[in-house]
Structure 1
Amino acid sequence: MDRLDTSRLGGWADLPFFKETLPGIEARLSAEAGPVFPPRASIFRALELTPPERTRAVILGQDPYHTRGKADGLAFSIPPGFGGRLDSLGNILKLVEAETGRRRTRTDLTDWAEQGVLLLNTALTVPEGKAQGHARLGWSRLVSEVLGRLDTAPRAFLLWGGPAQKIGARLKGPDHLMLPAPHPSPLSAYKGFFDARPLSLTNEWLARRGEAPIDWAGPDAPADVERA
């Protein structure tokens, strides 16, 4: 496996992880016998799209989808035209509709990233068919350094699932909006994910700070959904 491209990391590029830990991770990825997701060109996509100076909110998940063609480098996002089960994203789309009254049709969450939502997982890669297979590969250091850089100014942190909440507990900034919730996976969403109102609470917090809200539904979503 060739070296991962770190040329588009912008304000993240000087994190110690990239010099001190990434070479070892690259060596271990090269030794993998099977496919690794997301595609290598997309591994750092979340950091590339949402530099620290533009990050207003962080959605922290667990690890990428381990199904072929599903992971795109943004936590919970799925490329257009995937055609398979949406699983966690399906529950997120239900949450968007419940909180905004608009039905999101896009599975690709690039528009969230472009609005300043860092869509990060606690592990940035996963072997095919092996959920949490790279949970101990060394990615946690990168995530800790990313959160450390973001700890210097108030941000909203949506921590979905146990691994996200564990690493998010290291944040020290007193003015963050901290929103822990169960992971949106079908295996755990029933434990309270739909009751947490993280999207509305994030936008209310941004409004109090004089900032524009996040358009969670997306620009092509219908204006209103008839509520049951």
Structure 2
Amino acid sequence: MTETSPPPPAAWAHLPFFRDNYPEICAHLAGETRQVLPPASQRFAALALTPPDATRVVILGQDPYPTPGHAHGLAFSAEPDVRPLPRSLGNIYKEMQSDLGACPPDADLRFLARQGVLLLNTALSVPAGAANGHAKLGWQTLTQQVLGALNDRPRAYLLWGKPAQAYAPLITAQDALILCSPHPSPLSAHRGFFGARPFSTVNNWLTARGESAINWTNPGAPS
């Protein structure tokens, strides 16, 4: 299924990935016979909504939801009309409810991105119905360079699952907050994701630094 490759978001376009690696990925996607998710126009949505200077928190996922109509370019987020919630997101909301006493009304997490939460997947494309189908396509180089670009000052990082935690050595900013826990998927959430209280921990860290807390639960609240 031929597609037009989207340009990189301006604030991240300086990363060498876009010059050295992206053309090869584009060529592969252009020859992909399966439907590629999310739509090309949404592939860099997380980076576009959260430029480096605005990034305060990074949540690292794996790859987009492989169900058509779900993924829209932000890790763990889905279109607002998606029901039932994707299972990992449902578990995130269970932990948020336990931690904060509330959770968002639908699957759309773009309101978090606008507050400086970079919802980054380590692969930015997936064939429909084939989870991890593009895991070895080369997107990880972008993840590495994004994390490198964010080492200019301390930020909070939520690394959920072993694949995300493998990137922890790349986070070198002094005083950065790095929270590791199992992935929120149904296969692993009960092994320590539930009860980890990541959302209040991040907010306590931010406010201790004199920064505003993240509004994790209410998309309609003033930012």
Smaller-chain TM-score range?
A: over 0.9
Q: What is the number of equivalent residue pairs in this alignment?
A: 220
- Per the alignment, residue 184 of structure 1 pairs with 184
Matched, 1:136 2:136: yes
Structure 1 unmatched runs, 5+: 222-228
Q: Per the alignment, in what secondary structure is the counterpart of residue 58 of structure 2?
A: strand
Q: Which residue of 1 aligns with 2:81?
A: 81
- Determine helix, strand or coil for the equivalent of 2:29: helix
Q: 5+ unaligned residues in a row in structure 2: which ranges?
A: none
Distance (Å, rounded) in 1 between the aligned partners of 2:132 and 2:29: 14
Query: Take 1:74 and 1:15, find their aligned partners in 2: how far apart are those partners?
Result: 19
Q: Quick check: 2:85–2:107 contact (8 Å CA) kept in 1? A: no
- 1:55-204 matches, within 5 Å, as 55-204=55-204
- Deviant stretches of 4+, over 6 Å: none
Q: Is the 8 A contact 1:105 1:220 kept in 2?
A: no
Judged with a 3 Å threshold, the aligned counterparts in structure 2 of structure 1 residues 97 and 144 are, in CA distance, closer, same or farther, namely same
Asked if residue 17 in structure 1 is aligned to residue 17 in structure 2, the reply is: yes
Q: Secondary structure at the match of 2:170?
A: coil
Q: Distance in 2 between matches of 1:33 and 1:177?
A: 41
TM-score of the pair, normalised by structure 1: 0.92
In 2, Cα distance between the equivalents of 1:208 and 1:80? Answer: 33
d(CA) in 2 for partners of 1:168, 1:131: 23
CA deviation vs aligned residue, 1:17-56 (integer Å, no higher than 9, x gap): 1111001001111121111111111100000000000000
Task: Give 1:85 shift.
Answer: 4.5
Question: Which whole-Å deviations, capped at 9, do the CAs of 1:166-216 have from their partners, x for residues lacking one?
Answer: 023222222100001111111111111012111111000000110000000
- Mapped contact 2:99–2:197 kept (Cα < 8 A): yes
Relative to the length of structure 2, the TM-score reads: 0.94
Q: 1:103 to 1:146 in 2, by over 3 A?
A: closer
CA 85–213 in structure 1, closer or farther in 2 if over 3 Å, else same:
closer
Looking at structure 2, the residues matched to 80 and 172 of structure 1 have their Cα atoms a distance apart, in angstroms, of: 35
What does residue 50 of structure 2 align with? 50
* 2:207 aligned residue: 207
CA distance change for structure 1 residues 201 and 85 in 2, over 3 Å: closer, same or farther? closer
Q: CA–CA distance in 1 between the matches of 2:81 and 2:98?
A: 24
Query: Cα 1:2–1:35, aligned 2, differ >3 Å: closer, same or farther?
Result: closer
